[in-house]
Amino acid sequence: MDRAHHRLRSPWPWAAILVGCVIGWGQGQRAHADAGVVAGTAAAESILNEHRLPLAAWIVGIGAATTIFVWRARRGRPPTIRRIAALEAVDEAIGRATEMGRPVLFIPGIQDMDNIQTVAGVTMLGRVAKTAAEYDAAVEAPVCRSLVMEAAREAVQASCLAAGRADAYQPDRIHYVTDEQFGYVAYVGGKMMREKPAACFYMGCFFAESLIFSENGNSIGAIQIAGTAESSQLPFFVAACDYTLIGEEFFAASAYLSGEPDQLGTLQAQDSGKVAVMSFIVIGAVVATAGVLMPSAAWLGELGALLRKAMGG
């Protein structure tokens, strides 16, 4: 285990990514040249998608920042992370469920494992399951995708082992219900009403069912902690749940709870990206305003257009 982890912490993933990019680039160039020959035209058109170059630059920038901050964290300079109330409340919610002798309900959203929110939700499930195993509380996780069920079982099993409570892992508590959105809603709603879980976690991608879940949870008096990146569903969670992880907080949750310097370093990279975006917005607003006040200064218009392009506009 340690050897595998050591290898993964080494530069090999980076090397693999670099080799993948080089091979992909080479294959792409060859395919493009072939296409040019077939079509009887020179491969004058760039194989790069120029419209997406600003986005590529942002990704490279965030990647570089991630590397730097992870490296700094590994050298004993981990960042200070502000307190997130919703994550501080996780232990409290599970503790309450333990005291009341009721289960903890975890919903990892309604999308499949190809959605990054579901991945973040399953990660959070692992953290919740570890605490629940330590406290001897039961975690129920009905899911609406078969692959999510398998991933969730793996995460919970590993968490129970990490907590030294291998016996706490019961695969039947993580079960598939249906892919159908409102069929799933009906099942979870009925389960809430019958079993009255003391704590409910909603972490993942949600749509219309967000309010139905959280209002049901509210009616049975459960502590509710939600997290999603669906901005249209955030108001419903904020209105009905005790704590809500809003957007980026949801993605930061796993790193925050792990406390590992590597993962905390990535949060710092995320924040540096935010600072860069804010700087661009402020500069763009100043340039646009100055352009209106000084219509004769053509360079302001060109600078504004350049900034818009840099932001992917």
Partner 1 sequence: MVLTRLIPLWIAIVSGVAILVSAFIRPMESWGENFTDTFNVIAAIASVLGAGSLLKANLAKVSRRDAGWGFALVVLGTFLITLVVGLGKIGVHPSHDFPQADFGGKQESADTPFGWIYEFAMVPLTSTMFALLAFYVASAAFRAFRAKNLEASLLLGTAFVILLGRTFAGVVLTGWLPDWASGLRLENLSVYVMQVFNTAGNRAIIIGIALGVAATSLRILLGVDRSWLGGGER
Residues 240-279 that bind partner 1 (CB under 8 A): 240, 246-248, 250-252, 254-255, 258, 260, 262-263, 266-267, 269-270, 273-274, 277
- Measure the CA angle with vertex 309, ends 284 and 46; round to 5°: 165
Residue 194 binding partner 1, by CB under 8 A: yes
Nearest-approach distance from CB 298 to partner 1, in angstroms = 28
When the beta carbons of 132 and 300 are compared against partner 1, the nearer one is 132
Q: Which tokens is 50 given? A: 């120029």
Q: Does 296 bind partner 1 (CB under 8 A)?
A: no
- 298 Cα distance to chain centroid: 42
Residue from 133, 185, 200, 225 binding partner 1 (CB under 8 A): 185
Which parts of 138-157 interact with partner 1 (CB under 8 A)? 145-147, 149-151, 154-157
- Decide if residue 158 touches partner 1 (CB under 8 A): yes
Task: Give φ, ψ of 31 to 5 degrees.
Answer: -60, -40
Smaller CB separation from partner 1, 111 or 300: 111
Contacts of 241 (CB under 8 A, 6+ apart): 202, 214, 217, 218, 224, 225, 226
Which of 192, 212, 223, 225 is close enough to bind partner 1 by CB under 8 A?
Answer: 212
- Cβ-contact 36, 43 below 8 angstroms: yes
Q: How far is CA 286 from CA 58, 121, 282, 295, 307, in A?
A: 22, 39, 6, 14, 11
Among 101, 231, 293, 295, binds partner 1 (CB under 8 A): 231
Shortest Å distance, C-beta 51 to partner 1: 10
Q: From edge to edge, which strands make up the β-sheet containing 139-143?
A: 174-176, 139-143, 104-107, 199-203, 223-228, 243-246
Tell me which residues in 25-44 interact with partner 1 (CB under 8 A): 25, 27-29, 31-32, 35
Which of 92, 112 has the CB closer to partner 1? Answer: 112
Q: Does residue number 172 form part of the binding site for partner 1 (CB under 8 A)? A: yes
Under DSSP, the state recorded for 110 is: S
